[in-house]
Structure formats: C-alpha cells, structure tokens
Amino acid sequence: MVETRFSKFLQKLGFSGADHQYEPLETGELETLFDEQYELKEIERERAVVALTPKDASKCNKVELARIFYVDFQKGLSEFAVTHRRLVHGWNEFVTEKSEPMWKRYLEQFKNPLILLLLASALVSIFTKNYEDAISITMAVLIVVSVAFIQEYRSEKSLEELTKLVPPECHCLREGKLQHLLARDLVPGDIVALSTGDRIPADIRLIEVTDFQVDESSFTGEAEPCNKTDMQLKGEGDHTTLSNIVFMGTLVQYGNAQGVVIGTGESSQFGEVFKMMRAEETPKTPLQKNMDNLGKQLTLFSFCVIGVIILTGWLQGKPILSMFTIGVSLAVASIPEGLPIVVTITLVLGVLRMAKKQVIVKKLPIVETLGCCNVICSDKTGTLTANEMTVTQLLTSDGLRAEVSGVGYNGQGAVYLLPSKVVIKDFSNISVGKLVEAGCVANNASIRNRTMVGQPTEGALIALAMKMGLLNIKDSYVRKREIPFSSEQKWMAVHCKPKKEEQEDIYFMKGALEEVVHHCTTYNNGGIPLPLTPQQKSFWQEEEKKMGLLGQRVLALASGSNLEQMTFLGLVGLIDPPRVGVKDAVRVLSESGVCVKMITGDAMETAFAIGRSIGLCTKRTSTMSGKEVETMEPRQLAEHIGKISVFYRTSPKHKLKIIKALQDSGAIVAMTGDGVNDAVALKAADIGIAMGKMGTDVSKEAANMILVDDDFSAIISAVEEGKGIFHNIKNFVRFQLSTSISALSLIALSTVCNLPTPLNAMQILWINIIMDGLPAQSLGVEPVDKDTLRQPPRKIKATILNKALFVKILLSASVIISGTFFIFWKEIPKDNTSTPRTTTMTFTCFVFFDLFNALTCRSQTKLIFQMGFFQNHMFLYSVLGSLLGQLAVIYFPPLQKIFQTEDLEVVDLMFLISLTSSVFILSELFKLCEKVCFASKNAQIHLASV
C-alpha cells in the first residue's frame, strides 16, 4: 500500500521525453504520503519495544518506563500498538511443543534390551514351531509395555499444567478505557489494574499502589505476603527484594495497584521456569538401568549357551543345523520371560501399599528408586513447615516472658509463663492479657472451622487469642475506623469505642518496633502506665534482634487514647514452625544413611533457625546462599555441597544447579516441594515429591510422587518400601535363574551324554508354569522386612545380578542339577530307554526341588524361622496349589496320559521330599554362615576402632 503510493509519487516527478515537465502533487495525495511515512515509523517503533527484566525495570522511574514502552499511563496503549507488539512478542501464554504421536511413544517402550531379547526369543519359538511359547512370551511383553506406556502418558503433563497459572481474564487500560480482557491478549507496555483476589497476569512494574500486598509463596517460598511499593529501587537485589515488581501467577492478598507490563509469556519469570522445565529430562531410574544391564547379561549368557551346545555337537559329529536348533531352543527356555511381569506386579503392589499410607506414586520404577536415594532436598515453606504462621514467644513491656505451644490456625496449645511454666488464661496475668488483647482487636483475620481468612500474621494473633480464651474480646469494642498498614509507615491501628459507656475511646496499634515505639510515651507495668525511658527502648531493640536471629518475625503492640501518646505493651515473636514429626523423620532418615538438605527462598536467619530446630545443622558454616551457588563452578559446587545442609535465598535456577551438583557427585536425589519455584528441581531430581494439600498443580504434575497429607514423615515409609521392593525383585531373579539354569543344564547334560531326554515337552511346560507362575510371582509380594530401613541406601552401580547373588544361584542350581540327574541316572533302565517311571520320578524331583528352592528364596539374608512361615499368604497358597497340581499330574488318569506319568508309591514321594529338601537346608546353612562371618567382621572392625 505504502510502496504503491510512493511509486505514484515518483511517477508524478518523472520525465516525459526530452522536454520533461514536473507534475504537481495534489494536496490530498501529499498528506496521504506523509501519513503513511509516519505510520511506517510508528510500526518500526512499536516493533522495537522489548521486554524488560525485573531487575532493570525496578531501577527505572515512571518517566523512563513511559519512554521505554511508548505508553501514556493515563490512556494506555492503542489497538494499533498492541497489534504490532503482538507480532514481535506473541500471545501471553506458554506454548508446549507438539508431542510425538502416541503410536511412536508406545513403540519406544520396546527399546528395553530385555524386551528386545524376549521378542527375539518369541520369533525363534515361531521358527521352531513352539507356538505356545511364542504366544505366552508375546502376551507377557505386551502387558509390560502397555503398563509402562500408560504410566508415562499419565505423568508427562508438567508443561500443560503450567498454563493454568495464567488467569483467563484481567483489567487493562487501553485507549483511555479500562477494559475486561483475556490475559493472553497482554503485551509489554499494557497498563493493568490489580485488586484483592486477582492473580497477576504477567510480570508487572508497579506505578501506583494503595496498601498493596502480594502472596509470592509459590514463587519465592516466603510464607508472609510481600508489601509492594511503586518507588524506584536502587542497588542490586534478588527477586525476593524487588518490592516494585509483581510476578505472573502470584496472588494479590490485599489492596489495589496499577502497573505496566514488562514481560509476557516466556519472557516472564515463570516463562524462565517453563523453558527450564522444557529443557529438563527426567533421568532414568536405577531399576531401569539395572533391568537394561540384566537384559544384556542374559543375552550374553544365551549366546554362550548356543555356542557351547553347537561346539559340543560338532565335536561329537552331530549335524550342525540340528545342534543349532537345540541350542537356540535351550537359550530361549533359559530367558525368564516372567521377569518383566513380576517386576511390574511387584512395583504395582508397592504403589498400592504406599497409597494406603497416603503416598501417590505416578511412575512405577520410582518406587524402587527410593531404595537407593541417599539425599533428600526439601523446600522449607509448606514442606518442612506447615506454611501457617504461629506465635511462639511473648515479651511484655514489663519484662515478663511467655512461650506458646501448638501449631497452626487453631486453638490447640497454651501460653506458659516463664520460668514457672504456669498456664495463662484470660487476664490471669494482666500484662500478657493486654498484649494478646491488642493483637486480637487490631486484626482483620478470622478463623472458622480451622480455616483462616486474612493475612497469616493476623491469623496467628487470632489463634493466640483462642489459646488464651480471649477470642471474644473483640466483641467488647465497636470499631470506628481503621488506619491501614502501608510499607512507608510500617504499622496499622484501629480506633474503637468500648461497649461499656463509661469507658473512653481507645486505639490499638501493631507494627514494626521502631515505628510503634515512636508513638509511645509510656509502657505498661502490670496494668499501670509508666514513663518510657531510652534505656527501655534500647532493651526492647536488643530483644527484637535476639528474636530475629531465631528466625522469628517480631511485632510490637501498643494501646492508648491518643495516637501520639500510646502505651507500649510488648513484643510478639512469630514463625512458620516445623511440621509435627519432621524432626523425628530427619533423624530416622539420617540414621539410615539418607542425608537431608533444606533449600528455601527465605532469609538466612529463618532458614538457619528451622534447620537447627529439626536437627539439620548446628553451625552457620553449614549454610550457603543462592548468590554463592550462582558464582560457584559446577565442579567446585559438587565438591563442597556435601558439607552444606541449608541453602537460603534460592531461585528455581539455583535449586536446579544444586540438584545437578548432587547428581554429579554420585548421589541419587529426591526433591520435595510445593510451589512453582520447585517445579524444575522436582522434574530434574531422580525422585520428585510434591505436597498434596498445599502443593500447586505445577509441582504435582512435575513430581513423581505426591504426599497426600503433606506429611514429610511419610517419606520414611516410601524409602522402606523402595528398599523392600528391590530385595523382592532379587529374590525372584534368584529363584527363576536357578530354576532355568537347572532345567537348561539338565537337558544339555543328557544331550552331551547321549542319554534320552529326561523330561518331555508337557513336563517342561509345567515346570515353566511354576517358574513363571504364581509360586515365582508370589516372591514379589513378600512383606517389607522392617530391618530394611536400617540398611544404607543401595549403591547406584549395584546390579541385580551381583557376585553374591550369582554364587547363591549357582549353589541352588548345582544342588538341583545334581539331585535331579542322580534320580534320572538311578531310574533309567540299562538299555538307556526312557520309561514313564523314569520321567515321572525325574519330573517330580525337579518340581519338588523348585518348591523348596522358592521357600529359601523368600529372603537373601534371613532364615525362614526369622521370617515366619505364614507372613506371605500368597506364597503359601501358590505352593500348595502347585503341590496339589503335581499330585494330580501323577495320580489323575486323564492327566497321566497328557504328561506321560504313572503312579508313585508313598515311599517314592518321601524319598524325593527328603532329597529335594537339601536345596532348602544348604541355602539356609549358607545364610547362617554369612551371618556369623558378618558378625565376626563387624566385631573386628569395632575392636580396631576402639
């Protein structure tokens, strides 16, 4: 359009042959041309507007802001400006990348080496016409893959949930009118109006405030609402100190404000979190790595078996092709196709048991990962603490001290006068009573049905009044007016008229000590006002510092008939205290080899006070700030991080760096949190644990586990379950591999020795049913051994099939092979032909060996008498069912024809039972020897240390 007009303009100035003449422009055309040139400049200017970082915006004054964003604060942006800025900055929303098609994600589940090995064995079974094996293996693979896919699909919603932070609507000033718009329409430079209850729609630099407070706990971890100002800031500071900036997704707690949008969508601070989450991949769990390794080990084992069989047959002069077929069949038989199913069932049952303990697990392998977790990083606010401000200490103006018990917004607890520990109620102590009365009356909060409405600090003062029995003292006054709190004056007051007519009006005031004392001329001494002296002011200032060093927020209270002649009443110390049971949980975890670290956005004093109270640290040298984390190199941080227990003033970026440093140092890290600021760390950690009640949607979706009741101590049960599950998987692997090696070796031996096959196809199938069926799978549901929590976390590099387990597998297999081959050799006729009695005795001997082997495989370390025969009911039922099934195969005529068996005498059965019990007896003796050797070794270490 503009180019066309400009071409026309040039044509008007063009030449006509040799005797050219200028053609004059018409007035309207000239104006249009200038308008369009001006419009081009306007477009360039609008597109040049950039988003500001919060730190840069906080240092700008209002004139500079108006110039940078080309906006009139009284009129807002024009629709023209909005349109062109949106072309540059996009919509105010988070756009997730298109995910892979579901079919492709489903196929990716087949990349597991063990799954690929099983599929290969199914293919070989088809070529060798063992269709039953092929079908059973394929079904097992499909079940395992489908369960894993469903779990992954349900848990990968972190980025989608982040979009819920952006509110659907907001109030925006455009073209001189306050409009109701969708929050996604905002662009940098928009003027937004904010009021109580609004969720901040973008990063905003405030330009006008009225008693404005914002709850930033989900972003910074601070329990208290932040007072905001519109003043220009000077000097450096982190996000928690930017008092003239409000961030997307936080909540307006009180007051009204106007501000200019400085960052939208991915240019906002939550956009930074979004980009970090998108870049972060959930690490593979130790169990997944172990299963991969086991798959590779079994593949190698299978190829070795094939090689040995083919080589032996070739040396004996047998046809290579037939020996290859036998070798492949035996290798396929040796692969435990039931292993993935048992692992899945074991994990599912672990998840169900944890659900009963109010712990929800979203990814199956995470259950086992807890068994090797050796570091738990925890957010403070809402996780280690209840995110409920509580009064813990009182200091009256006449020097009396009192401590307050009970946590949260309720009347549970009492006020004790120190040092006598006498419980104070009502006005039994006039000085304490007047202090609590002032806090209750100068208050806008309320508590109903254990729910607090209002500001956390005021809620804590109401809870204090409830403990004192003074909650109804508020009804003794009629409020005339309120002087609200502001960040400049740092106090609030109420003007009240007592309902008793003979009493005069009274003011109650609360706020910062230096401001409240400035309005006081007297102090309360047992109900009598006495003149205030400089020495007393100094004394209270020292006390305030001491309380502050304990991490407490300190409020001063006063009352009087005149705002300039108030009577000082004393100090109140508040803190967001640790949750009940957290201290004991930290101690138990530490004793079991799990190190607990606290990562918070709070100040050092508060963080250190909470850390010390729950037993995390005793010295300030155990603390580190977010700034220090930021300046350290990753390698340097990984070296020092083991000595640090408390990290304070941290941002999401710092938390992520801490998690990565711990992982680089070889730790398996669990991260607990409840806020948006925890989401990136929750996703990056090996185990992300979110709070169920107080947690944000983003933190819950980013996490692998959710503590439904926000109970930190529930992690102990989860760790115990994780350790128990890995032991159960090892028990199953021992049983199945010892059985499969025995069956494999028995057939291989008979082949090498030119003997008839000791077992027919149906008998091998029955043994496979026991090996992969209920007796085997019941080992996966063995109840968790209570001693497991005392064991140190499992090393990440420790494999399922380690040296100790392999020795036990070989011990059991050698006993089974020797005993079964002895029976086969004993029962075979002199002409080396197989008879029904031969196969029946050999078959029954092998099955009995299997059942006794399963009994000893219930634990790797504990004797059966220590565990108890009746602890695992499923195991008892499955063994009994297998035993009855074996007897039916021997004695039931229709099954005798199918399995080619014949009746055995009772003497035969007794002989077989006495022989096959040897695998159980030898394994139990081996455990006993291990226990004695271990105890002796520990005693020597103890003596050496003494």
pLDDT in tens, 320-343: 666 665 665 565 556 665 666 667
The dihedral sign for the CA sequence 69, 71, 77, 81: negative
Residue given tokens 């909540």 in the structure block? 251
For 945, counting Cβ atoms within 10 Å of its Cβ (0-12 exposed, 13-18 middle, 19+ buried), the class is exposed
Q: Radius of gyration of the chain from Cα atoms?
A: 38
Under 8 Å between Cβ of 480 and 410:
no
Query: Which whole-number Å values give the CA distances from 13 to 6, 8, 800, in the listed order?
Result: 11, 9, 88
Residue found under tokens 């031996």: 749
**Mean pLDDT for the stretch of residues 279-305:** 67
Least confident among 465-479, 587-601, 886-900, 929-943: 929-943
Average pLDDT over residues 530-542: 91
pLDDT at 403 over 60: yes
Average pLDDT over residues 704-722: 82
Q: Which of 160-169, 366-375, 576-585 has the highest mean pLDDT?
A: 576-585
pLDDT per position as a tens digit, 629-663: 989 998 889 888 988 999 988 888 888 899 999 98
489 confidence band (pLDDT: 50, 70, 90): confident
Using 50, 70 and 90 to split pLDDT, how confident is the model at 2?
very low
Residue 521 CA to residue 133 CA, distance in Å, equals 94
Question: How many C-beta neighbours within 10 Å does residue 752 have?
Answer: 14
Q: Where are the beta strands (DSSP E) in 91-243?
A: 169-174, 177-182, 191-195, 203-215, 226-227
Here the tokens at position 190 are 């928009």
| Structure tokens that stand for 86 in this block | 């949106």
Q: C-alpha angle 380/386/390, rounded to 5°?
A: 110
Which of 226-235, 365-374, 585-594, 619-628 is predicted least confidently?
Answer: 365-374
Average pLDDT over residues 291-306: 69
Give the phi and the psi of residue 34 in degrees, each rounded to 5: -65, -40
Helix, strand, coil shares, percent, the chain, to 5 = 55, 15, 30
365: which 2 tokens? 């392998």
Task: Specify the range with the lowest mean pLDDT, choosing from 141-155, 199-213, 470-484, 601-615.
Answer: 141-155
pLDDT (0 to 100) of residue 772: 60
Confidence band, pLDDT 50/70/90 cuts, at residue 22: very low
Are 406 and 577 contacting, i.e. CB atoms less than 8 angstroms apart? no
| Per-residue pLDDT at 765 | 66
- Mean pLDDT calculated for residue range 376-393: 85
Residue 159 has pLDDT above 70, yes or no: no
Which 8-state DSSP code applies to residue 190?
Answer: -
User: Of the segments 2-11, 107-116, 128-137, 699-708, which one has the largest average pLDDT value?
Assistant: 699-708
pLDDT at 518: 92
Kindly tell me if the per-residue pLDDT of 30 is higher than 60: no
The arithmetic mean of pLDDT across residues 689-704, rounded, is: 78
Per-residue pLDDT for 6 more than 60?
Answer: no
- Across all residues in the chain, what is the average pLDDT? 80
Helices 286-315, 113-127: crossing angle, 10 deg rounding: 40
Inter-CA distances, 862 with 22, 127, 474, 591, 865, Å: 109, 44, 65, 22, 8
- For residue 20, the model assigns a pLDDT of 46
Q: Which residues contact 784 (CB under 8 A, 6 or more apart)?
A: 353, 720, 721, 723, 724, 725
Question: How confident is the model over 519-535, as a mean pLDDT?
Answer: 92
Catalytic member of 133, 198, 379, 711:
379
Give the model's confidence band at 677: pLDDT under 50 very low, under 70 low, under 90 confident, else very high: confident
pLDDT at 292: 65
Q: Which has the minimum average pLDDT: 50-64, 499-513, 556-570, 771-785?
A: 771-785
Contact 717, 701 (CB under 8 A): no
The confidence band for 186, taking pLDDT boundaries of 50, 70 and 90, is very high
| pLDDT tier for residue 430 given thresholds of 50, 70 and 90 | very high
Question: What are 754's two structure tokens?
Answer: 């030119």
For residue 571, name the pLDDT band (cuts at 50, 70, 90).
very high
Share of the chain above pLDDT 70, in %: 80
DSSP states of 578-638: BPTTHHHHHHHHHHTT-EEEEE-SS-HHHHHHHHHHTTS-SSGGGEEEHHHHHHS-HHHHH
Report the pLDDT value the prediction gives residue 10, as an integer from 0 to 100.
42
163 C-beta neighbours (distance < 10 Å), count: 15
Q: What percent of the chain has pLDDT over 90?
A: 22
Give the model's pLDDT for residue 662: 92
**Rounded mean pLDDT, 376-399:** 87
Tokens of 712: 């930190």
Q: Is a pLDDT exceeding 90 seen at residue 523?
A: yes
Asked whether residue 204 carries a pLDDT value surpassing 90, the answer given is yes
**pLDDT score of 485:** 80
Region 342-369: what's the mean pLDDT?
75
| Span 699-708, average pLDDT | 81
In the chain, what is the greatest distance between 2 CA atoms, to the nearest angstrom? 134
Mean pLDDT computed over 293-308? 70
Please, are residues 239 and 220 in contact by the beta-carbon 8 Å criterion? Answer: yes
Can 475 be counted among the known catalytic residues? no
Query: Per this entry, what is the length of the chain?
Result: 946
Task: Tell the burial category of 584 from Cβ atoms under 10 Å away from its Cβ (0-12, 13-18, 19+).
Answer: middle
- For the chain, how far is it from start to end, CA to CA, in angstroms? 94
Q: Distance (Å, rounded) from C-alpha 1 to C-alpha 519?
A: 69
Q: Residue 315 above 50 pLDDT?
A: yes
**CA 220, CA 228: separation in Å to the nearest integer?**
15
The pair of three-digit structure tokens given for residue 402, joined into one six-digit string: 């009192």
Nearest CA-CA partner of 249 in 208, 218, 209: 218
In DSSP terms, 901 is beta-bridged to none
pLDDT at 11: 47
SS3 at position 223: coil
Q: Name the residue among 749, 921, 914, 904 with its Cα closest to residue 821.
A: 749
- Rounded to whole angstroms, how far apart are CA atoms 385 and 273? 24
Per residue in 790-836, pLDDT (tens digit) is 778 877 666 777 788 888 989 999 999 999 999 998 888 877 777 88
CA distance 729 to 88: 55
Backbone angles phi, psi at 768, to 5 degrees: -65, -35
Per the model's pLDDT, the better-predicted residue between 622 and 645 turns out to be 645
Q: What is the mean pLDDT of residues 121-142?
A: 72
**Is the backbone peptide bond immediately before 419 cis, with ω within 30 degrees of 0?**
yes
Q: Model confidence over 721-779: pLDDT tens digits?
A: 778 877 888 888 888 888 878 877 887 787 777 777 787 767 776 776 666 667 777 88
When pLDDT is averaged across residues 154-172 and rounded to a whole number, the result is 55
**Interval 9-23 mean pLDDT:** 44
What distances in angstroms separate CA 428 from CA 351, 422, 438, 469, one per listed residue? 53, 10, 16, 11
Model confidence band, residue 542 (pLDDT cutoffs 50, 70, 90): very high
Q: Measuring CA to CA, how many Å separate 564 from each of 3, 76, 536?
A: 72, 43, 18
